[in-house]
Structures are given as structure tokens and as C-alpha cells.
Homo-oligomer: A and B are copies of this chain.
Amino acid sequence: MNTSPARFSGVLSPVVTPFNEDLSPDPKRLLAQCKWLLSQNVGLAVFGTNSEANSMSVEEKVALLDQLIEGGIDPLRMMPGTGCCAFTDTVRLTGHAVKLGCAGTLMLPPFYYKGVSDDGLFRSYAEVIERVGSSDLRIYLYHIPPVAQVGISLDLIERLIRAYPETVVGIKDSSGDWGNTESMLQRGWDDFRIFAGAESFLLQTMRRGGAGCISATANINPAAIHKLYREWDSDHADRLQQEVDQIRELALSYPMIPALKTIVASFTGDPEWAVVRPPLVALPAAERHELLDGLRQHDFSMPGLGAEPDRQRTLR
């Protein structure tokens, strides 16, 4: 019997991380947000870029993982981000995620040193895989050159799949370059799960045989994005794509993470959700109001979190 974790497909969210006023992470609100996302059929890529993962220490992330599992979150729905600059940190966090039973990890390449070779990046991933040393480890590579500046080439992916076919099982392509995603899809790697880095490419990705998307906006618009995923092969798929695009474009008119947190703060009625860690800054009041007004004009809602944004509520 094969008990190894199934490969992911569908829609996942890099879950935004709630902080208290003193900037400490708040496991209670994170747990609630994760439960709500699961209820919307969205998986949990906690500790992604939009989770401010790289503004937290490894031990802060280890503690949050423990608290989510203790809180009843199914580790088979979790794909925590675990890629750090130092492979020793990546090994620590990845090993812990595997120990907790997480079905996958989303792994950035080491991102401080620039212009590094594919040999060096292969060596980074190989060290992590060998040191974690578990047949339960499932890595989804995280290609996000606009932020990490260190990318993952097609040749590197192929080399990793060849060396570790049961471990390196997918990728999130956040290059913003459809040509790159398409090239990956065309390679036809056996059961390799290719996720669009945003729902803007979800329909195209599904039509070419991709696995789904892992998208920041799934934090606020999970149901509609999941509907597009589920019904991508239907007659109305293009309309569904246009609908999710509108919400995404609105949110993207502002710095992404503060905008997402503003929206969650408004719909949960909890202004502390707007707190971001440095080097980010919260949206100024005028932009907050503009953003929430824009959503209201789209009759946007987050069922289960609240009916509509409260115009009067004072957000931090």
C-alpha cells in the first residue's frame, strides 16, 4: 500500500499572517483564517510571499505550524513555504513540516546571492532533500524572480525531477510570464504539478494540463477562484475568469499584502488584521477607503467572514 502524500491540485492560498500590535504572530486568528479558507475549498500554502513569511524567523514559523496542527488543521491540506537563504534553516523548517505530516512544501531557492549557477541551486535543493531524508517529503519549487531575483530554470527543474522524481513534484510559477508557464507545461513532465502563480493565468493553465493556482487573492476571493478551477472546462469559464480578474485588478492597484490585510480586517471586523511587519507599511486611510469602496461597487463579499465591509469601521 502506498501511503505517501497525494500530489496537490486545485487552488491554494499563501495565507496572510495576522500579527498583534506588538508585531508577534497571532496563531488564533491564523487558525480561523485557515479554517475559513478550507471551507472555501482552498488549500493552505502558509508562509508564502504574501504571508510575510520572510519577515518571520524560522522558529516563529515552526511554532505557528505546531499551533495550526494542534488547532485541528489537516496537514494533508498544507503546503507551507520553507525555502530560506540558509540551507540549514530550510532543512529545519522543511523537516518540521514533514514531521507534522504536511503533504508538501513550497520551496524558494536561496535568494540572497544573485547570479548563482544552476549547479549551485541544484546543490542547494539536493542538500535539503538529502538532509531531511524522508520519503514523505514533497517539494513544490517556487519560481518568483520578480521578488526572489533568483529564478529556477527549466533545465534545473528537469535535473531535479530526474534526480528526485518522487520528491520534486511540482512548481508554482510566479514569474508573471505566461510563456514560461507554457514552456513548462509543454515539457510534459510525468505527473509534475504546475501551478499558476495567480488566478489570472488559471484558465490558460488548466487548458494546457496544469494543476491549478496558488494565488494571493485566494485569501479574499477563494470561492470564485475555486469555482473557476472546478468549471474551467465549461462554457462559461471565460466569464468566470473575467470576474475573478476584476477583483484581482482592484486589489493589485494597491501594495498587495497591506491591501489583502485591509480587506480581511474589514470583513472580519477586526482592525488588528491590518498590522504588517516591517519593511511593509499599512495602507494609508484614504487608500483603505478607496479600496473598500471599489469592492463594494463589485458587490464583493466574503461569505462566512462577514457580509460586506463596514464603511464606518476604523481600520488601523
* B-binding residues in A (CB < 8 A): 23, 49, 54-58, 60, 85-89, 92, 109-114, 116-117, 119-121, 123-124, 127, 146-150, 277-281
In the complex, A109→B23 CA distance in Å?
18
Residue of B nearest to A90 (CB): B57
Residue of B nearest to A149 (CB): B149
In the complex, A86→B127 CA distance in Å?
23
Ranked nearest first, the 10 interchain pairs of A and B with the lowest CB-CB distance are: A54-B112, A120-B279, A124-B278, A123-B278, A116-B279, A54-B85, A57-B88, A124-B279, A110-B279, A120-B281
A87 engages B55 (CB within 8 Å): yes
Considering residues A55, A110, A120, which has the most beta carbons from chain B within 10 angstroms of its beta carbon? A55
- Beyond known contacts A57-B92, A87-B277: 4 more, CB 8 A cutoff: A55-B112, A121-B279, A123-B279, A150-B279
In the complex, A123→B278 CA distance in Å?
6
CB distance from A101 to the nearest CB of B (A): 24
In the complex, A54→B49 CA distance in Å?
18
Instruction: Pick the contact of A85: B85, B87, B121 (CB < 8 A).
Output: B85
